Amino acid sequence: MDLDNYDVVIVGGGPVGCITGESIKHHKVLIVEEHSAIGVPLQCGGLVSKEGVRELGYPKGVVNRVRGAYIFSKSRCIKIEDSDVRAYVFERKIMDKDLAKRASKNADFLLKAYGRLAPPQQGRYSLSVSFMGDNYHLNPQVIVGADGAKSSIGRAAGVPMRREILSGVQLEMVDVEVDRDFVYLFLDRRYSRDFFAWIIPMGKDRVRVGLCDSSDSYRKLINFIENHPVASQMLKGGVPVEFSVGALPIGYVEETVKNNLLLVGDAAGQVKPLSGGGLYYGAKCAKICGRVIDEYLSGDYNMEYLKRYHTLWKEEIGREIDLGLRFRGILKRMNDSMIDRLLEFIEKRGLVDYIVREGDMDSPSKVVGDIFKKFFGFR
């Protein structure tokens, strides 16, 4: 097998690896994926904003549309309701395969193949790829680590990965009837100390129920399903048909370009700190990554040129992630009674309409910042 004539090798065939591959239009690209199928195992709620769907290029796999959210604290609930669709729920297996199909116009795939970074020689990293019991040494001009939250590629390059990693657990359940126009978010420290739990309707009779936290998420999810006063009633009689676990990086990597290696998507921590959503930012950054690589390989540039990718993606979403991290820090310090008071404040001050009008799933910092300013009384 001749694997040595690729200009670019992308490690990771998730959505971000695929969009990066799709975006490198003029060079030979190989995507190396450790699993035997694209899109499995599932590690995602599949909720994407309207703008996110546009950024992803309108992939297949929509199973539901939602107009808002019920947000529960320990003792209160507010309903954020728009008349229009605000977000789409995807079957990720279908979405990911569709993204792979698009990428395959420019890129080849090697499935069930594991990529390892080899130490740099003359300033350039290479890769060792295990495939069907054999090891191949690949020496592309550029390597992309799109290998998810734990990024063994980034670690092997010695990139500092100072960020919080949350663990997420999710069950798909059938025979559950909920209002399918809304997602349900549970900001309740009794169930998730550092993040939240959710129920995302997937159309008729089907939901994803999940929870993220710093530790012990599986036990906490079961406790949530069995004991949360509202959720346990909603999910009563529901039958689990799929179980998934995954890691959520909160905070980005400070060095996403090292020599001829670029990190993108979850590997780079391009994730919204308040919600954990990574598809929109990942797609945005994948396109920048692909474009910069194409330019680098087409022009007469030295490797420094690749650093443009880091500058460009930080310009796009760096400030929003920084603000999200700050607000997450504030939220983490709030206990259940304070969160109750926050929801009460939002309702009594008529801020629900403001959230509906101005709220943006992808850039929530403006609305969250305004509400925090009002709530904590500093203007």
Ligand X SMILES: Cc1cc2nc3c(=O)[nH]c(=O)nc-3n(C[C@H](O)[C@H](O)[C@H](O)COP(=O)(O)OP(=O)(O)OC[C@H]3O[C@@H](n4cnc5c(N)ncnc54)[C@H](O)[C@@H]3O)c2cc1C
Chain residues in the site for ligand X (CB under 6 A): 11-17, 32-35, 43-48, 114-115, 146-148, 152, 168, 170, 210, 246-248, 265-266, 271, 276-280, 282
Residue closest to ligand X (Cβ)? 278
Minimum CB distance to ligand X, residue 151 (Å): 7
Task: Give CA–CA dist 100/69, Å, rounded.
Answer: 31
Minimum CB distance to ligand X, residue 33 (Å): 5
Nearest CB to ligand X, comparing residues 15 and 324 = 15
Nearest CB to ligand X, comparing residues 59 and 278 = 278
From residue 150, alpha-carbon distances to 171, 225, 249, 267, 275 in Å are: 22, 28, 8, 7, 19
Nearest CB to ligand X, comparing residues 273 and 351 = 273
Minimum CB distance to ligand X, residue 215 (Å): 14
Nearest CB to ligand X, comparing residues 191 and 351 = 191
Task: Give CA–CA dist 92/190, Å, rounded.
Answer: 30
Identify the three-state secondary structure at position 60: coil
Minimum CB distance to ligand X, residue 376 (Å): 29
Minimum CB distance to ligand X, residue 180 (Å): 16
Nearest CB to ligand X, comparing residues 115 and 238 = 115
Minimum CB distance to ligand X, residue 300 (Å): 31
**Long-range contacts: 249-253, Cβ < 8 Å, 24+?**
249/149, 249/163, 249/164, 249/165, 250/163, 250/164, 250/165, 250/166, 250/276, 250/325, 250/328, 251/162, 251/163, 251/164, 251/321, 251/325, 252/163, 252/318, 252/321, 253/154, 253/159, 253/160, 253/161, 253/163
Minimum CB distance to ligand X, residue 115 (Å): 4
C-alpha torsion sign, points 283, 287, 288, 294: positive
Task: Give CA–CA dist 344/302, Å, rounded.
Answer: 57
Best CA proximity match to 231, nearest among 155, 160, 178, 297:
178
Query: Partners of 182 in the beta sheet?
Result: 68
